[in-house]
């Protein structure tokens, strides 16, 4: 069972089958540049002699087939190339495709049969995978309380550290509440036993739904799925929810745990496009089509809210609109990403 994928230029796939093993792939892929012929020829000339391979080709977009420059190379170099192209040839002169997709996500999505937590029967239960849950509390750099799978140790003793290492070796998931504090403890464990290797990533910020939010540091350990316990997806649906979303989106589970629901939905669309051979633009510039007043009135009307008369009533019925919402989207073609040219007068 494929459970995770990490890396960028070298993608490492982690499988779980009564234990763990890894397979490594040197990952070369491509990006597509489309736009003014003169600009593309200038870019092609600049790429000569560098660590890229460029060729002219045709690729499909959701609007039809386009001709452009297909550039092959390592994902990290291609991402840097696309950023430079957007800086030098922005404003519509050159459009870039497929360079901003997370490398393990693209690796899995382009191989349609590659699914995280794949199960044969989608109506069956999710597999129960072992987890190590670590909770700790710090006073500055000093850990003053440690709990491993509910076993409380107070300050981390040698027994507590051995218990932690043993639990990690027997588990697939590592669930933690403090990445920095856990890194202090794992450093001590590694000094005593020579492992585990881990990486601590610093804090970051991200924008979602018009708000800028803080993301605390995260930790990663090879052959384990490391999930912060304050992850929205984990707190709502546990590891089962992460497994399900990872399977249907082609996103590695660690990325699912740190993503918003909107990102997961967008990733599902990106996966479908990649598997179907459709280009994914790096910069969204498909604006709404112009409408006449009558078209605007017909297609963009808001909901009608009827205020009830105060009083006491018998025979009151309730419509569960939330449960009906998905079927309404399908019936009336309301989902924006799939509605390229909105149907006029849907209602």
Paired tokens of 134: 């670590």
Amino acid 344: pLDDT: 47
The pLDDT assigned to 70 comes to 96
Distance CA 224, CA 252 (A): 12
Residue 175 has pLDDT above 90, yes or no: yes
**What is the rounded CA–CA span in Å between residue 167 and residue 176?**
13
Closest-CA residue to 183 (of 220, 155, 147): 220
Query: Given a cut of 80, is residue 340 above it in pLDDT?
Result: no
Q: What is the pLDDT of residue 48?
A: 79
Q: pLDDT tens digits for 225-269?
A: 999 999 999 999 999 999 999 999 999 999 999 988 888 999 999
Residue 341 clears pLDDT 60, i.e. is over it? no
Q: Angle at which helices 179-193 and 158-169 pack, to 10 degrees?
A: 90
Of 101-110, 196-205, 248-257, 287-296, the one with minimum mean pLDDT is: 287-296
Global confidence as pTM = 0.77
Q: Return the higher-pLDDT residue of 240 and 51.
A: 240
Pick the range with the lowest mean pLDDT from 60-74, 147-161, 194-208, 292-306.
Answer: 292-306
CA distance 273 to 322: 29
Three-state SS at 117: coil
Looking at residue 347, its pLDDT comes to: 36
- Distance (Å) of CA 103 to CA 16, 21, 31, 187, 254: 21, 20, 12, 29, 14
Could you report the per-residue pLDDT of 120-158, keeping only the tens digit for each? 887 778 888 899 999 999 998 889 999 999 999 988 899
Give the count of beta carbons closer than 10 Å to the beta carbon of residue 265.
16
Total residues belonging to the chain: 347
Supply the pLDDT for residue 209.
66
User: What's the pLDDT at 346?
Assistant: 40
pLDDT of residue 126: 81
Helices (H), 90-195: 103-110, 158-169, 179-193
How far is Cα 209 from Cα 131, in angstroms, rounded to an integer?
A: 32
Phi-psi region of 140 (alpha: psi -120 to 50; beta: other; left: phi over 0): left
Integer CA distances (angstroms), 343 to 156, 275, 329, in order: 63, 27, 13
Looking at residue 27, the DSSP 8-state letter turns out to be -
The helix/strand/coil state of 180 is helix
Residue 20 and residue 287: Cα distance in Å, rounded? 47
**What single DSSP character describes residue 194?**
S
Of the two residues 318 and 344, the one the predictor is more confident about is 318
Q: Helix crossing, 261-275 with 103-110: angle to 10°?
A: 40
DSSP H or E run through 43 = helix 37-47
Predicted pLDDT of residue 338: 55
Mean model confidence pLDDT for the chain:
87
């Amino acid at each position: 069972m494929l459970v995770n994928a990490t890396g960028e230029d070298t993608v490492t796939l982690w499988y779980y089958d009564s234990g763990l093993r890894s397979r490594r792939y040197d990952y070369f892929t491509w990006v597509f540049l489309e736009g003014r012929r003169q600009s593309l020829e200038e870019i092609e000339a600049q790429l000569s002699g560098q660590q890229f391979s460029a060729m002219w080709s045709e690729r499909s977009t959701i609007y039809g087939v386009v001709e452009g420059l297909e550039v092959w190379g390592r994902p990290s170099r291609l991402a840097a190339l696309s950023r430079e192209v957007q800086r030098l040839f922005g404003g519509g002169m050159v459009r870039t495709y497929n360079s901003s997709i997370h490398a393990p996500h693209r690796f899995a999505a382009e191989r349609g049969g590659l699914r995280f937590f794949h199960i044969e029967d989608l109506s069956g239960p999710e597999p129960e995978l072992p987890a190590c849950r670590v909770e700790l509390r710090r006073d500055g750099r000093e850990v003053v309380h440690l709990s491993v799978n509910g076993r409380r140790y107070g300050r981390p003793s040698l027994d507590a550290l051995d218990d932690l290492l043993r639990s990690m070796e027997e588990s697939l998931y590592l669930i933690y509440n403090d990445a920095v504090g856990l890194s202090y403890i794992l450093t001590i464990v590694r000094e005593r036993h020579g492992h585990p290797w881990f990486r601590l990533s610093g804090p970051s910020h991200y924008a979602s739904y018009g708000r800028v939010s803080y993301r605390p540091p995260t930790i990663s350990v090879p052959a384990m799925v490391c999930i912060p316990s304050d992850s929205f997806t984990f707190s709502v649906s546990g590891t089962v929810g992460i497994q399900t979303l990872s399977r249907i989106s082609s996103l590695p589970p660690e990325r699912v745990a740190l993503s918003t629901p909107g990102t997961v939905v967008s990733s599902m669309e990106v996966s479908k496009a990649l598997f179907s051979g459709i280009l994914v633009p790096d910069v969204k510039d498909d604006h709404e089509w112009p409408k006449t007043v009558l078209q605007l009135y017909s297609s963009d009307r808001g909901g009608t809210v009827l205020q009830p008369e105060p009083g006491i009533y018998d025979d009151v019925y309730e419509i569960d609109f939330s449960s009906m919402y998905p079927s309404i989207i399908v019936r009336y073609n309301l989902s924006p990403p799939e509605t390229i040219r909105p149907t006029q007068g849907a209602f």
